Amino acid sequence: MAKAEEKAEKKTKKSDVYDASNIQVLEGLEPVRKRPGMYIGTTGPEGLHHLIWEIFDNSRDEAMAGRCSRIEVALLPDGYVRVVDNGNGIPVGIHPKTKVSALETIMTVLHAGGKFDNDAYKYSGGLHGVGASVVNALSLHTEVMVHQDGGIHMQAYDQGKRRAAVKKIGTTKDHGTIVKFKPDVEIFKEGIDFDWAKVVSRLRQQAYLVKKLEINVVDARGFSVKEMDRILEDAFFIKDQKLNVPSMSFYFEGGLRSLVAFYNHTQKTVHKNIFYAEKEVGNVQVEVALQYIDDIDSKIVAYANNIFNSEGGTHVAGFKTALTRTINTYAKKNNLIKDGDDSLTGDDLAEGLVAVVSVKMQEIQFEGQTKSKLGSMEAQGATSSAFSETFSSFLEENPDDAKLIVQKGILALRSRKAAKAAKDSVLRKGALEGMTLPGKLADCQSKKAEESEIFIVEGDSAGGTAKMGRDRRTQAVLPLRGKILNIERARLDKLLASEQVRNLVIAIGGGIGDTFDISKLRYHKIIIATDADVDGAHIRTLILTLFYRYFRPLIEGGYIYIAQPPLYKVKRGKEIHYFYAQEELNNYMTKEGFDVNEVEITSDSISNDDEEMEGGAEADGGEGVEEGKEGKGAKGKKGGEKSKTKPHIQRYKGLGEMNAEELGETTMDIHKRVLKRVTIEDSDEASNTIEILMGNDVPARKTFIQTNAKMANIDA
């Protein structure tokens, strides 16, 4: 056997072996850096911000224990974050088991912390003792300073590893903990730029959840690192320095009642009084606030030990069950629902409901480290019991409010029946017709949803162009006639009565609303392609409102996209460029030695075969394609010296003004086009914005427009 073959055989045999040598033992914080997603969910923007939440939650737990009245979160230059509280401070004494400082133990050892001891923290969001150590592991640098018993103790770390032992560096009159960290770009490859609005929104919510806790948020990223270091030399709380930087302060005495009032401040409420109750059942402290508004959607926000549970959990289940039972009992007792009438269902009573449910308990159980869903069964019975008793008293003591709540539910029941009848009618008709696809739909040849995409375009003109410019194998086109129905506040029966909406529902596949089945989706890319003008933006907003209210799984699953057709076509001799923004055009013109204001911009179509315009011909050179960033193409000659051929600029106002080749090349070609994926970063903020823009509250919409007018990109 040849030596090369012998070596290859040995290598193959070794790779097939699975023995003790294959077992890796990750020590210290190595598991966190190896698999960060297990601890923070994702290494994208959500995971990045999760680092702040973990450190903040430790300070907030101090407040819940009654040892802290003030917390400050500051965004610093160069990607650093600083979290300060005036609690007792992390213990710095020697830990009996690890034989090093308790501070070092907490920051460098997984599953080490004070939350396991119910005497130290009666209620806490931290269960596994991994929060601070995970942040430390995923940070390039971390520094902790503890002000305690008149002394300042400090320890610094690099990627979770200590630089030196904890040491005393000075004296102090303050008490509390300062944690300063910089996320590691090796972990967070998408960047470490924190979203100010996201941080403010999260901490505002927390201020509602802990009564009489002052929370300050400071954006000091405008300073240089040296300036910031000088400011921090003697600063415990940065806000006390009275710096001229963006900052927000939150302090609420009303708790969840104040939070519900905040949610509803732009809404038309059904009843005046906000229900609020706080009651302890066994070892579970239950706090609930609710109010009904004139809407068809619901908002139930849940917390467990002040940790936001985006997926709800057992406490929400207990609340819903008790809500339905209590209102039905009251309604029948007071003859608001007559014998023989249908009882109100949970769906009926969810319409227009805005509620916040919060529980605090020991030995709490979440489903996963990110704590998005509460799993403690004890919370279900406690929430149901506490809410039933207090809400029954509220209804008896506020008969006018109670009557309005029941009437709201009865209206929802009647509407639900009408909507169900309309939906059943549409489904029956569709079944009889074999679910015939809309006549205007130009479907693709492929039957594989994962490779198929549909372009929703504005009008027959754009539809005809798109049909000619598409890849028939994988791309379908559905033209819509004008503006579809504004479905905000529209019920399903009215929705399905619209031919345009019905065509869209049938074309996409999977049904609608609560019967929507994403596995029956006919296309895995649903692309909205409208004109780059005010009407196009309005149509796009109407379609997005439809998707958000009735097809939210499509947005959450990443199936919805917005096409980015070019705004300009520039022809210079035989060279053609497409530009997608005014700034791109300006930069190109400046680079080529032209003043964009001195060149006529028309809406006339430019033929690729036009004669060269005045100013002389291009210098000879080899043909080629100028490469730009993805989504841009340029045809023409390269090499040699370019002449001063005056460019001809065409401004596209609509997709119908483009020919099939132009639309296909710039907007539909998967190798050149630019698509924007529609995502939901903050569901509460998204719902509120859609309500303001598409709802019936004109004053709220006017205020929104006036407030954000300077941000608008107006095509004059």
Helix axes 377-397, 314-333, angle to 10 degrees: 30
Q: In angstroms, rounded to a whole number, what is the distance separating the alpha carbons of residues 180 and 174?
A: 17
Is-contact 423 496, C-beta < 8 A? yes
Comparison of pLDDT for 554 and 11, the residue scoring more: 554
Position 358 pLDDT exceeds 70: yes
Residue 696 confidence (pLDDT): 65
Architecture in CATH for domain 256-415:
2-Layer Sandwich (3.30)
Residue 338 confidence (pLDDT): 78
Q: Which of 143, 219, 297, 533 is catalytic?
A: 533
Position 685 pLDDT exceeds 90: no
User: Tokens standing for 165?
Assistant: 């032992």
The verdict on whether 184 is a catalytic residue reads no
Is-contact 71 63, C-beta < 8 A? yes
pLDDT tier for residue 486 given thresholds of 50, 70 and 90: confident
Tell me the helices (H) and strands (E) count for the chain, helix number first.
22, 25
The pLDDT tens digits for 555-610 are 989 999 999 888 889 988 888 889 888 888 989 888 888 887 777 787 766 655 44
Residue 65 confidence (pLDDT): 84
Is-contact 413 348, C-beta < 8 A? yes
The pLDDT tens digits for 185-211 are 999 999 999 999 999 988 998 899 888
First to last CA, the chain: 79
Comparison of pLDDT for 7 and 39, the residue scoring more: 39
Q: Which of 57, 85, 104, 458 is catalytic?
A: 458
Q: How many CB atoms lie within 10 A of CB 388?
A: 18
Comparison of pLDDT for 409 and 536, the residue scoring more: 409
User: Tokens standing for 203?
Assistant: 């901490």
* Antiparallel, parallel or unpaired: β 560-563 and 525-529: parallel
Residue 711 confidence (pLDDT): 58
Q: Which of 443, 493, 531, 665 is catalytic?
A: 531
The verdict on whether 604 is a catalytic residue reads no
Position 75 pLDDT exceeds 60: yes
The verdict on whether 297 is a catalytic residue reads no
Q: In angstroms, rounded to a whole number, what is the distance separating the alpha carbons of residues 142 and 510?
A: 49
Is pTM, for the whole model, over 0.85?
A: no
Sign of CA dihedral 263, 269, 270, 271: positive
User: Tokens standing for 146?
Assistant: 């503890």
Residue 716 confidence (pLDDT): 41
The pLDDT tens digits for 609-659 are 444 444 433 333 333 333 333 334 444 444 444 556 788 888 887 787 788
User: Tokens standing for 581?
Assistant: 């923004």
Q: In angstroms, rounded to a whole number, what is the distance separating the alpha carbons of residues 637 and 625?
A: 7
Is-contact 219 118, C-beta < 8 A? no
Residue 119 confidence (pLDDT): 47
The pLDDT tens digits for 255-292 are 899 999 988 988 889 999 999 999 999 889 999 999 99
Residue with tokens 């009992």: 329
pLDDT tier for residue 128 given thresholds of 50, 70 and 90: very low
The verdict on whether 458 is a catalytic residue reads yes
Q: Which of 174, 219, 297, 535 is catalytic?
A: 535
Comparison of pLDDT for 498 and 587, the residue scoring more: 587
Q: Find the largest Cα–Cα distance for the chain.
A: 96
User: Tokens standing for 513?
Assistant: 């609303």
Q: For 166-169, which contacts have Cβ atoms below 8 Å and span 24 or more sequence positions?
A: 166/92, 166/100, 166/101, 166/103, 166/104, 169/145
| Among 221, 266, 215, residue whose Cα is nearest residue 243 | 221
Percent of the chain with pLDDT over 70: 80
Position 157 pLDDT exceeds 90: yes
Position 22 pLDDT exceeds 60: no
Residue 599 confidence (pLDDT): 79
Is-contact 386 334, C-beta < 8 A? no
Put residue 300 in one of left, alpha, beta given phi > 0 → left and psi -120 to 50 → alpha: beta
pLDDT tier for residue 6 given thresholds of 50, 70 and 90: low
Residue 114 confidence (pLDDT): 44
Q: In angstroms, rounded to a whole number, what is the distance separating the alpha carbons of residues 340 and 332?
A: 10
Sign of CA dihedral 506, 508, 509, 513: negative
Residue 615 confidence (pLDDT): 40
Mean pLDDT along residues 358-366:
88
Position 311 pLDDT exceeds 90: no
Residue 53 confidence (pLDDT): 92
Q: How many CB atoms lie within 10 A of CB 434?
A: 7
Position 341 pLDDT exceeds 90: no
Q: How many CA atoms within 13 Å lie on the side-chain side of 191?
A: 3
| Among 511, 530, 486, residue whose Cα is nearest residue 701 | 486
Beta strands in 268-352 (DSSP E): 275-281, 284-292, 299-304, 307-308
Amino acid present at 200: V
Residue 485 confidence (pLDDT): 78
Domain extent listing, the chain: 30-250, 256-415, 686-716
Buried-state track 215-232, b at ≥16 Cβ within 10 A, e below 16: bbbbbbbebeeeebeeeb
pLDDT tier for residue 672 given thresholds of 50, 70 and 90: confident
Position 712 pLDDT exceeds 60: no
In CATH, the number for domain 30-250 is: 3.30.565.10
Average pLDDT over the chain, rounded to an integer: 82
Is-contact 310 423, C-beta < 8 A? no
Residue 191 confidence (pLDDT): 93
pLDDT tier for residue 115 given thresholds of 50, 70 and 90: very low
Least reliable range by pLDDT among 2-6, 394-398, 496-500: 2-6
| Among 663, 613, 665, 656, residue whose Cα is nearest residue 635 | 665
Q: In angstroms, rounded to a whole number, what is the distance separating the alpha carbons of residues 106 and 155?
A: 12
Position 546 pLDDT exceeds 70: yes
Mean pLDDT along residues 459-485:
88
